[in-house]
Chain A
C-alpha cells in the first residue's frame, strides 16, 4: 500500500461528518435516534476496519504523499505515517468506535450535529497524526478545537460553557507558541538552499536542523515554544487546570476521547517536534523535562487523592499518568522512548475505560460525589468488576496494560545517564541526577495506588446506602465497550511485545539522533551555555553554513 491510502483516514471521517450534517433532517423521534446511532456505529466501524487494514498490510507509508497547496509560500498538503503515527491513528479509530457505542446510552438529543462534530473531530485528530507539513499540522491542530468546543458546550454538564471556553482559549494560548516556533523553523529553512516551495515540509525542517543551520540558542527557544504548546495539551503542570474542568463537564464519550486521544496529541507533538527534530536542545533541557515529569506525577496524584468528585479524580489521575510520558522522554534512551510511547497507548485505553466506568455510575446515580456513593459492588457487580479491572490497570498492576509501559519508563529513566545535576543559571545547581528524580517519581506508584484504592473503597465497598436500592447493572452497549477495553487491557498486558515491537523502528530512529551526539557533548556544559548565550545575535542563522538563495 502506498501512503496515498492514508488520505482516507482523514477523508473518511470528514465525509461521514458531512453526511451527518447534510443528509438528514433534524427530526428527533426515538426510532430515528436509534438509526442515527446505528449509522454512526457503521461509519466508525468502517474507519476502524480500514485502519486495522492499514496496520496489518505492510506499506511504504513513510514516503510522504504530497500535493502542492500554496507553492508560493512553500506549503503542501503532505501526509505520511511512521509506525508511531499509524499506531496513534489506530488508537483514535478504536476509541472513536468505543465512544460511538457508548453514545447510545449517553447522548439523547441533537444527534445529527453531535455525530457531525464527532467525526469532524476525528478527522482533525487523524490529520494531526498524519500531517507531514508544518502548516497542515497547525491547521489540523487548530481545527480540532472547533468540534471539541461544541461537543463540550452543547452536550456537557452544568458548567459546560465555562469549561469549553477555557479549553479552547487555553489551547489557543499554546498555539501562539506553536505558530511562533513553526514560523521560526521555516524562516531558518529558507536559508537552507532547499527549494522555496517546500519550506513547510517536515523533511525540509529536519534537514535544516540537521545541517546545523539553526544556532543552538534558537533551537532552545524553539524547543521551549514547542514544549509549551504541547505541554498545555499534554497537560503539564502548571498548565493543566483546563483538563479537570473540560473532562468533568464533557459527556462520557467525549471525556473518553479527550483523555484517550486529545492528550496524546500533546504527547505526539512532544515526541515528533521536541525530541525528534530538536535533539540538541532536548539533550540540554532534559533535566527540566524530568522535573516537570516528577511534578506532574506526584503533585497531581496528591490532588487526585483528596478529590470528592469521581470524574475529577480520574481527570487528575490522567494528568499524573501523562507525567510518565515526560519521564520516559527525559531518559533519552531506547527503554525510555519505548516506555513513553507504550504509556501513551496504554493510558489512552485505560483512561478512556475509566471515564466510561465513571459515566456508567453517573448515569445511574446522577451524582459524582464519592461521599454519596458506597456499596455499589453488590448492586452493580458487572460494572464493579470492570471498574476493578481498569483501576488495577491504572495503578500499574502487572500483566495488565499499563505495567509494561511504566516499567519501561522506570527502567529507562533509571539507567539513563542523561544528566547528573541540574543547573538553574545564577541561582545555582541542584545535585539531582536522573536517578534521584526517577526514584522520587516512583512515589507516584504509592500515591497512585492510594487514590485508586480509596476510590474503589468509597464507591463500591462497604454497606449500600438506603437511597441506592434499585441500581440497574450494565447494559448491552456498555458491556460491548467494556469488554473490548478489557480484552485489550489483558492482551497487551500479557503480551506487551506485540505493541512494543511495533514501534521499535521509530524508537531506534529517535535514539540514533541522540547517540550521534558526541559523548563529550557534556550536558551541564550545554546547560550553562544556555544561560550565558541568551543574546539575540546568537539566533541568526549560522554564518558558516551555506546561505542559499537569501
Chain B
C-alpha cells in the first residue's frame, strides 16, 4: 500500500512509457517490416493507403500498453484514496515532493506531486473514466487505420492530464496545461484529412493559447508581486516549490498586501483566462462544439469528463487567490452564469447529437464555475465529480448510436433506437435523468449543492437573487434539452436510412459500468449515509473551508423545487419531442423566432471571432507584410539603387582625358584661392 503511495509519481510516467512504446514501436515496425510477421499481425485490408500499412503496429500491443498504464494508475489512485479516507478528516497530512527542474541563481522551478483530497479525487476520476473509455475505444476504433496512433495519443493525453492533476505548483501546472491542450489538438485533428477536423483542431489550440497567454501573464504578475515573499517562505519550507499550491493561501495574502486590491483582482482575472479557455467558458468557448470533430471516445474523455474540467480544477487549486479579491469572484460568477445559460440555450436547437451534448457540457461547466464564484467550492468539485461519470457515459452512448448508425450524427435521422440499442438507450436515459438532476440520481445531489450555495449567496449582494433564479432556470433548460435529445434519438420511429448495427459487448459494458456511479455516487457522498463521508467534508481539509452544515434529506425544500423544475422541463420535452406529437415544435419556433435564430446562430460568437481574426487581424498582418516588403525592404533596395545610380552618373566624369582632369584641377584651385583670399580679408 505504502509503496503505491511513494511511487505515485509513476502515475503519469506509465502512460508516457506507453506513448513512447507505441510511437517507437510503430517506427521500428515501419522500418523493419520483417518483424511484422513474427508479431503475427494480420493486416487489415481497409487501411487508408499503403503508407498507413507501413506504420502498422499490432493492435493488441497498443491496447495492452495503454490499458495497463491506466490500470496501474488506477491502483495508485485507489491506494491514495484509501490512505486519505483512513485519516481523520480534521487533521489530514498531505504529501508534497519536489525535484528541481530548472534552476537559475536563487530561483528554482520544480516538478513535484501533491497528494491532497482534491488531487486524489481528480486522480481517481481521470484514471477510472480513462480506463473505461479506453476499453470502449477498442470497439469504436477497431476498424480505423489509425488504431495504434489513437491509443498512443490517448496515452499522451493521460500523461499530460495526470501530470496536471498531481502537479504541486503553478509552474508545473502551466506545463501540463499546455500539454493537455496539444493532446486535445492532436485528437481533435485525428481525422486530419477532413478539413473540418483540421480547422477544429486549429481553433481549439488557438483559443486555448489565448487562455494560456492570460494564465502565463497571471502567473508572472503573481510572481512579480510575491517573489520576495516566496523566497523567504521557501527558506522555511524546503519541501515546497516556488508557486506551490500549498502556500497559495498565504501568498495570496502577501499578494494583496503588496499589490493592493485592484491589481490582485487583475492577477486573479488573468489567471482565470486559462480556465475560461480550457473549460469552454464564455467568451472563449467556441472551440468546444467544434472539437466534436474528434472521434467520440475523445469527446467523452477529453471534452466532457476530464480536460475541460481541468479549468474548474485549477480554479479550485488557487481558490484563495480568487477569495482575496471580491471583484474576481464576481467575474467568475458572471462568466459561469453566462456560460450556463448560453450553453443551455444553444443546446436546445442543436440537431447534431454530439454538438448538443457539447453545449450541455459547456452549460454544466458554467454551473461549476458559478458555484466557484459564489463560494460553493466543494459543490463545484462535487458537480465536476458526478458530471465526469454521467457526461462520459452520455457521450459514449452517443458514440454507440453513431457507430450503430454508420456515422450518422444528425438526430433528425435517428429515432426509435430504444429497441435496437437497449443498453445504450437505458444508460442514456440514466445519464439524462442524472444531468437533469432528477430522482435522486448523482446529478441531483451535486446540482442541489450548487443551488444551495446560490441560495446562501443570494443574501450577499443585490444582484445575487437574480443569479439564483437564472441558474434555476438553466437547470430547467437542462432537463428540457437533454430529454429532447433522448426523445429524438431513442423514441418514435426510426427516420434514418442506414442499417442499424447491434451493440457490441466491448462498447456496452463500459456504459453499464458508468451507469452505476451516475446513479449512486451522488447519494453515497451526499452525507446521508453514516459510513461514507460527504463530499464536502472530504474536501474540507483542502482550504479549511468553513462548510456550512446543512441537514441532508431526500425532500429538502430546494431539492423539491429543483425536481419540479426539472420535471417541467421533462414534460415540455415529452410534449414537443415525444413520440406522441402533442405539441408542435414548429409552433414554438415561430413564437420565439428571434430567440430561435439567436440560438441557432450560437449568439454570433463564431461570426464575430472569424471577423476579428480573418478580417481585421489578417488585414493588419497583410498590410504589415506589405509594409515590410515595400517600405522597409524598399528603402533598402532604394539605398542600393541610389548608389548604383550615383555611380552610373559619376562614371561619366571619369573620361580618361588628362586635359579635362587638369582643367578641373585648375578650376578647383582657382575657386579655392578666391575663397581663401576672401576669408583673409
Tell me which residues from 294 to 318 in chain A have a Cβ below 8 Å from any Cβ of chain B: 299, 302-303, 305-307
A460 contact set on B, CB distance < 8 A: 192
A398 touches B176 (CB 8 A): yes
A414 touches B55 (CB 8 A): no
Contact with B along A366-401 (1 / 0, CB 8 A): 000000000101111110000000001000011100
A457 contact set on B, CB distance < 8 A: 198-199, 201-202
Which of B193, B205, B221 lies in contact with A453, CB distance below 8 A? B205
One of A41-49, A55-63, A174-182, A495-503 contacting the partner: A495-503
A306 touches B621 (CB 8 A): yes
A500 contact set on B, CB distance < 8 A: 102-104
A93 contacts the other chain (Cβ, under 8 Å)? no
Residue of A nearest to B242 (CB): A411
B100 contact set on A, CB distance < 8 A: 497
Q: Give A454 Cβ to nearest chain B Cβ, in Å.
A: 7
B51 touches A398 (CB 8 A): no
B632 contact set on A, CB distance < 8 A: 237-238, 241
A511 contacts the other chain (Cβ, under 8 Å)? yes
B213 contacts the other chain (Cβ, under 8 Å)? yes
B138 contacts the other chain (Cβ, under 8 Å)? no
Q: Using A497-B103, A508-B105 as known contacts, say yes or no to A462 and B192 having CB atoms under 8 A apart.
A: yes
Which of A305, A414, A497 lies in contact with B223, CB distance below 8 A? A414
Complex formed: what's the CA distance from A242 to B637 in Å?
Answer: 10
A170 contacts the other chain (Cβ, under 8 Å)? yes
A442 contact set on B, CB distance < 8 A: 213, 216-217
A305 contact set on B, CB distance < 8 A: 618, 621
Which of B49, B197, B205 lies in contact with A449, CB distance below 8 A? B205
Contact with B along A220-253 (1 / 0, CB 8 A): 0000000000000000011001100000000000
Complex formed: what's the CA distance from A450 to B625 in Å?
Answer: 16
A517 contacts the other chain (Cβ, under 8 Å)? no
Q: Using A241-B636, A302-B620, A500-B104 as known contacts, say yes or no to A454 and B202 having CB atoms under 8 A apart.
A: yes
Contact with A along B51-85 (1 / 0, CB 8 A): 11011000000000000000000000000000000
A414 touches B102 (CB 8 A): no
A333 contact set on B, CB distance < 8 A: 105
A392 contact set on B, CB distance < 8 A: 182
B625 touches A306 (CB 8 A): yes
Tell me which residues from 597 to 651 in chain B have a Cβ below 8 Å from any Cβ of chain A: 617-618, 620-622, 624-625, 628, 632-633, 636, 640
One of A137-145, A208-216, A402-410 contacting the partner: A402-410
Which of A170, A379, A501 lies in contact with B51, CB distance below 8 A? A379
Q: Give A400 Cβ to nearest chain B Cβ, in Å.
A: 10
A345 contacts the other chain (Cβ, under 8 Å)? no
Which of B195, B210, B217, B636 lies in contact with A170, CB distance below 8 A? B636
B521 contacts the other chain (Cβ, under 8 Å)? no
A443 contacts the other chain (Cβ, under 8 Å)? yes
A334 contact set on B, CB distance < 8 A: 104-105, 107
B224 touches A408 (CB 8 A): no
A307 touches B625 (CB 8 A): yes
Contact with A along B96-126 (1 / 0, CB 8 A): 0000111111010100000000000000000
Residue of B nearest to A460 (CB): B192
Contact with B along A481-510 (1 / 0, CB 8 A): 000000000000000110011001001100
Q: Using A443-B213, A445-B212, A497-B100 as known contacts, say yes or no to A462 and B198 having CB atoms under 8 A apart.
A: yes
Which of A169, A398, A446, A511 lies in contact with B210, CB distance below 8 A? A446
B103 touches A462 (CB 8 A): no
Tell me which residues from 417 to 442 in chain A have a Cβ below 8 Å from any Cβ of chain B: 435, 438-439, 442
Instruction: List 7 contacting pairs A-B, 8 Å CB cutoff, sorted by A.
Output: A241-B632, A302-B621, A302-B625, A379-B51, A397-B179, A415-B227, A500-B102
Residue of A nearest to B101 (CB): A497
A464 contact set on B, CB distance < 8 A: 193
A403 contact set on B, CB distance < 8 A: 175
A397 contact set on B, CB distance < 8 A: 178-179, 182
Which of B102, B171, B192, B624 lies in contact with A299, CB distance below 8 A? B624
A398 touches B193 (CB 8 A): no
A335 touches B182 (CB 8 A): no
B195 contact set on A, CB distance < 8 A: 461-463
B193 touches A463 (CB 8 A): yes
Tell me which residues from 640 to 680 in chain B have a Cβ below 8 Å from any Cβ of chain A: 640
B171 contact set on A, CB distance < 8 A: 407
Best-buried of B52, B618, B636 by chain A (most CB within 10 Å): B636
Complex formed: what's the CA distance from A377 to B192 in Å?
Answer: 8
Which of B176, B217, B621 lies in contact with A303, CB distance below 8 A? B621
Complex formed: what's the CA distance from A499 to B516 in Å?
Answer: 51
Tell me which residues from 160 to 179 in chain B have a Cβ below 8 Å from any Cβ of chain A: 171, 174-176, 178-179
A501 touches B217 (CB 8 A): no
Residue of A nearest to B203 (CB): A453
A378 touches B213 (CB 8 A): no
B206 contacts the other chain (Cβ, under 8 Å)? yes
Complex formed: what's the CA distance from A338 to B103 in Å?
Answer: 10
Besides the known contacts A449-B209, A511-B105, 6 further A-B residue pairs in the complex with CB atoms under 8 A apart: A303-B628, A397-B179, A398-B176, A404-B102, A411-B223, A462-B195
A497 touches B198 (CB 8 A): no
Q: Give B139 Cβ to nearest chain A Cβ, in Å.
A: 25
B102 touches A496 (CB 8 A): yes
A415 touches B223 (CB 8 A): yes
Complex formed: what's the CA distance from A460 to B186 in Å?
Answer: 13
B178 touches A398 (CB 8 A): yes
Residue of A nearest to B176 (CB): A398
A411 contact set on B, CB distance < 8 A: 107, 220, 223
B209 contact set on A, CB distance < 8 A: 445-446, 449-450
Q: Using A302-B620, A306-B625 as known contacts, say yes or no to A446 and B198 having CB atoms under 8 A apart.
A: no
B620 contact set on A, CB distance < 8 A: 302
B544 contacts the other chain (Cβ, under 8 Å)? no
Complex formed: what's the CA distance from A454 to B174 in Å?
Answer: 23
A478 contacts the other chain (Cβ, under 8 Å)? no
Q: Using A241-B632, A378-B48, A461-B192 as known contacts, say yes or no to A399 and B179 having CB atoms under 8 A apart.
A: yes
Complex formed: what's the CA distance from A445 to B216 in Å?
Answer: 10
Which of A170, A381, A414, A496 lies in contact with B101, CB distance below 8 A? A496
Residue of B nearest to A408 (CB): B104
What are the nearest 4 A-B pairs in CB distance? A461-B198, A334-B105, A398-B175, A241-B633
Complex formed: what's the CA distance from A412 to B105 in Å?
Answer: 11
Complex formed: what's the CA distance from A501 to B101 in Å?
Answer: 11
Q: Give B651 Cβ to nearest chain A Cβ, in Å.
A: 19
B431 contacts the other chain (Cβ, under 8 Å)? no
Complex formed: what's the CA distance from A398 to B109 in Å?
Answer: 13
B624 touches A473 (CB 8 A): no
Q: Give A515 Cβ to nearest chain B Cβ, in Å.
A: 10
